Structure 1
Amino acid sequence: MHLPDAILFASDATRYVIVGAALLLLSALAMRGDRRRAKRRDIDDVGIMPWRDIAALASMGGLIVLTFGIMGWIRG
């Protein structure tokens, strides 16, 4: 897979920030899915995706990885 030069030569801290931001975006999408499931018309039409759990785990992981990336940026 061909990566752009900006990502290929980025520091580990920058890569952590990118992964953390991606996990937070996944968390936001999962929260949107959970909200849609909560406001469904047919109460018996329950999906199989555990949106609440995906949102919680992705946000926790994203915040942890993002914190490590920012700490790496600060330390240089």
Structure 2
Amino acid sequence: MNSSYVFGSTQYHIELERLRAIENLFDPASRCLLTAAGIAANSNCLESGVGADSIPRWLSNVVFPSGRITAVDLDRRFLHNL
């Protein structure tokens, strides 16, 4: 992990809690906007700044098996295989 990352806390659980709080606040609107933008089966998606990976997990239910998701983040501690 890049040590100059602003939120590069060594306290895993505190950072995960912060990311989950952000997801709880913003994910409902993000899902609505992505749906309105036409994200559907067969879509190819790039998600940057993934955080704790809730949007890529949601996208996987929408676009798989025929679509693709590429997810990137500076801090990869919370990225999981979809």
Q: TM-score, normalised by structure 2?
A: 0.29
The structure with the larger Rg is 1
In terms of fraction of residues, the more helix-rich structure is 1
Higher RCO structure, 1 or 2 (CA under 8 Å, sep 6+): 1
In terms of fraction of residues, the more strand-rich structure is 2
